[in-house]
Amino acid sequence: MGCLSEGSGPLRPVFTKQPGSIVFPLHLNEPSREVTFSCEAQGHPPPSYRWKMNDSFIYSQPGSRYSISGGNLRISQLNKEEDAGIYQCLASNSFGTILSREASLHIAYLEEFKTQRRSPVSVREGQGVVLLCGPPAHMGELTYSWIFNEYPSFVKQDTRRFVSQKTGNLYIAKVEPSDVGNYTCVVTNTVTQSRVQGPPTSLVLRNDGIMGEYEPKIEVQFPEVLAVAKGLTVKLECFALGNPVPAITWRRPDGVPFPRKVDVGKSSGVLEIPYFQQEDAGQYECTAENSRGKNTVKGRLSFYASPHLVEKPQDVQKAIDESLLWECKASAKPKPSYRWLKNGEPLESFEDRIQVVNGALSISSLTLSDTGMYQCIAENRHGRVFANAELRVIAVCLGGGCRFCLFSISVLDNGSLRISNITKQDAGLYTCVARNQFGVASSAGTLVVKEPTIITSKATQLDVTVGESVVVPCQVSRDPSLDVKFTWFFNEQLINFGSHGGYFEKVGGASAGDIMIRNIQLRHAGRYTCAVQTKVDSASIATDVVVRGPPDPPLDIKVDEVTETTSFVSWSPGPDNHSPVFAYNIQIRSPFSLGWQAAKTVPESLGGQQLSARVVELSPWVEYEFRVLATNSVGTGEPSKPSQKIRTKDTLPRTTPARVSGGGGSRSELVITWEPVPEELQCGPGFGYVVAFRPLGGQSWMQAAVTSPDASRYIFKNESIPPFSPFHVKVGVYNNKGEGLFGPVTTIYSAEEEPSRAPSRVRAKSLSASEVEVSWKPLPWSTSRTRIMGYEVRTTQLKTKDRPDTASVMRTVGNRTSAVIRGLDPSSTYHIKLKAYNSAGVGPDSVVVNVTTKRPPPSQSPDKVTWNTTDSKLILKWDHVKSLENESEVMGYKVMYKQSRQSRPSVVETNSTSLELSLPVDEDYIIQIKPVSEGGEGSSSKQITIPRIAGLILALMAFITIILQYAELLVDVFRLSCQCSFW
């Protein structure tokens, strides 16, 4: 045919491996390390490589930190200021140059807090407060938490307390007394897994009163405008201070309801929108409301998408003088701009024959110099994508009638036609012609070329924390005429979206089979495979999901090297659930503790690599259990299983009884009491007490052993003990190991004598129909043999025809000289006598005095109560109450009044049957009236309610009066006007 043959000519470079973005965790306390960007391409001859950083070429020289080996770029002794940036690989051979995708290098680090001391924060109870975190210098995403007083006591978020993951600050909507203490901000870098603590901030209460109620003040706000990328998860924060604690609610002002995927946190302070899509864009509103008012903030979420190619140029071979048109289109928001590269350099159209319009490249009158590698770049401010294509321009054959050769088409020995590397240009009608000596036969068929189904999502690994929601992507480009079916597998098992507890949900559209895993759990970690199928082809992609959660419980808790007060505890780490353990905490429990308590250890702080510690400050001869908890950046995991119970060794007792005292008892007794030593402080078996005592000023101690560990008293009886004489007393302890220490010496007195005399000058007088006052001359408060603790008053009602004698006894405490006896019958005579008492008993009776109670108060209540109002006064009137023959005469009246919302009434006494009260008339009042006599208060009238309408009537009358006065003034003016006009 005379056509040119491709033979083994040069092959264009094609990337088989392109660099990926790197986030390098730089630990400030470790020596610097190195990173490597990978780049690999195929081609003939083999490609050579160059690298760019921030669009400037990198030169590898001896002694440089940059070295290029093959296509890989290695950077040693990383510098966080100099090396962070955008990197690109260029692969070149004799046929052309191509530029790789961009790869970023971010160096994540977290420095220490500044050690300067923070001033205390002083607030009133009921006031809101913001405690600032002020994170140190860093790069990489941070998470924040706060320690309250001591680790591992973290602040728990609720409707009243909120930790912002944007600022790190702690917000307390309304401070309560239980909030007083020290607060420490804990900052964790999620990339480096490093963790630092800030200096503590003390929160104290002011003593100048309690903060009253006030309307919400929104302290945590989301931006007025926030751009969110397609498919990302966005979290909006909103929290307010206020008293009462404000309630937070969310809504969209346009009335669009939230879809099921939107989640509001427990405290309503965070609105989470996973897998952000175009329909999620718009305005969002947060409202904080309490009984004092409400406040609102608004913000707009705008949707953006980095460019995604929907039409890209294909390799093409053209003849000289032909024309080329390459389409390059990408979907993006905002709309992308386009530019073209040729062999890695910008394509400049110095000639009219080269045009770039809306991404399309057209070249007319092709020449051999147009041969090369072309790249279309579609970009917006959120990213850029590259599309590679090869243009070959060949000379026209001199003979044979063909213009150029199709090297991808070949006829097989059996007559079949094979088309390799098929393109849309191969579509059309094909006719096969067969000839032999008997004739010619033909058969025709149409080749329809469909766009391939390509999964555009990249195979990657997703890191997610327990409880979050994550979208596993599976997006495809496909021929629009073909239906596509998505099938998902989890660890090679088909996912049934109707089961699995509702964790899995399809969220993709027509060209996406994305799934969301809501409230992800540790058991959901594994490989997720998306299988895509059409009538003509299929594809699949696997995504590994790593679920980070609090650590599993530590294993194999062992306790040995047990002494009286210490033990050695060791353990094995459990799975860290993809977040390294940075702290362990040992807890102990005994029969005497209230549940599990934090143990004191050596070392005091147990890091993530510490797998053993010595527990100290245990009590001797106590049975203990131990357990261990692990903590990582996600949280504190479940505790380990308790260890086997161990008992610490016994030793001499160290704790002496508390509150040693005594006294009292019978004649010739010395009573000694104490508070028993708790069992957990007895240090061993065979525990008991040693009681030692001696007369004040004596030299030798008398001792007695009390063998019961629960005993709390010892009584020494001896007829030679003088009454109420002082003794020195001390109580010690012992067990099977021997005697411990004695407690401090205290002074107590032996039993005293009962009083030997009776009070004198006893008098009694009637106060009312039910009360009598008794008075007397007291005895000396204390003597050398006795003390007076108070007086016993015996009251006996004289016998009548209807009832026998009845008596009652009451005791006074202290050196009082009078008492009021209540609850007596009216018009009754009583005998009263007194005697003194102390711890030894009672003394002799006093002389008997008689007293008769007064007649009972009136049984009739005030009647015909009327009321009237004038200005701001309330006038009350009622009928006089007449006493019965056996009742006390009425001496006056008590008027009790109160506003309807008050609990205690005000009282006014009067001798007449009317009363004028100066009261505001804009309130409701409740009034009662009682007669008063020397026998006491009589029966009360019924409650009278005076409504505030009286005040309204007065106000209305006053208003009408003003109107009438104003009308008279207008009449006078009118008359004066008429007279002036007349003259």
Q: What is the pLDDT of residue 624?
A: 97
> What is the arithmetic mean of pLDDT over 283-311?
93
- pLDDT exceeds cutoff 90 at 916: no
What confidence tier does 964 reach under pLDDT thresholds 50, 70, 90?
low
pLDDT at 407 over 60: no
* Euclidean distance between CA atoms 682 and 868, whole angstroms: 79
What is the per-residue pLDDT for 412? Answer: 77
How many angstroms from the chain centroid is the CA of residue 976?
Answer: 79
Question: Going by DSSP bridges, is the β-strand pair 121-123/201-205 parallel, antiparallel, or unpaired?
Answer: parallel
User: Hey, how many other C-beta atoms are within 10 angstroms of the C-beta on 900?
Assistant: 12
Q: Which of 540, 500, 497 is nearest to 520 (CA)?
A: 500
Mean pLDDT of the chain: 87
**Does the pLDDT at position 61 exceed 80?**
no
What tens digit of pLDDT does each residue of 10-55 get? 478 888 999 988 888 877 656 667 899 999 999 888 999 999 999 8
Flag whether pLDDT at 404 surpasses 70. no
* Mean pLDDT of all residues in 907-934: 86
User: Cα–Cα distance between 867 and 944 in angstroms, integer?
Assistant: 9
Structure confidence at residue 979 (pLDDT):
45
Which range is least confidently modeled, 270-284, 718-732, 846-860, 896-910? Answer: 896-910
Q: Where residue 443 falls among pLDDT bands split at 50, 70, 90?
A: confident
- Which pLDDT does position 745 carry in this prediction? 96
Q: How far apart are CA 371 and CA 343, in angstroms?
A: 10
Distance between CA 272 and CA 284 in Å, rounded?
12
Residues 648, 624: contact at Cβ < 8 Å?
A: yes
Which neighbouring-strand residues pair with 952? none
- Judged against a pLDDT cut of 60, whether residue 320 lies above it is answered with yes
Mean pLDDT computed over 343-368: 86
What's the confidence (pLDDT) of residue 950? Answer: 47
Encode pLDDT of 130-171 as tens digits.
Answer: 999 999 999 989 999 999 998 888 999 999 999 999 999 999
Question: Does pLDDT of 934 surpass 50?
Answer: yes
User: pLDDT tens across 700-757, in order?
Assistant: 999 999 999 999 999 999 988 988 899 999 999 999 999 999 999 999 999 988 888 9
Closest CA to 43 of 1, 16, 13: 13
Query: Which residues lie across from 834 on neighbouring strands?
Result: 793
User: Residue 501 is encoded by which pair of tokens?
Assistant: 């507890």
Average pLDDT over residues 216-228: 93
CA-based nearest residue to 51, from 11, 85, 10, 96: 85
**Burial class of residue 701 in the structure, from the number of CB atoms within 10 Å of its CB (0-12 exposed, 13-18 middle, 19+ buried):** middle
The whole-number average pLDDT for the span 308-317 is 91
- Counting Cβ atoms within 10 Å, is residue 724 exposed (0-12), middle (13-18) or buried (19+)? buried
The average pLDDT across 665-676 equals: 92
Q: How far is CA 575 from the centre of its chain?
A: 25
What pLDDT does residue 406 have? 44
Give CA 761 to chain center in angstroms. Answer: 72
Task: Summarize the confidence of residues 831-852 as an average pLDDT.
Answer: 91
- Is 60 exceeded by the pLDDT of residue 977? no
Q: Is 663 left (phi over 0), alpha (psi -120 to 50) or beta?
A: left
> In this model, does residue 765 exceed pLDDT 80?
yes
Q: Are strands 702-706 and 688-695 parallel, antiparallel or unpaired?
A: antiparallel
**In degrees, to the nearest 5, what angle opens at C-alpha 712 toward C-alphas 711 and 716?**
95
Question: Does the pLDDT of residue 327 top 80, yes or no?
Answer: yes
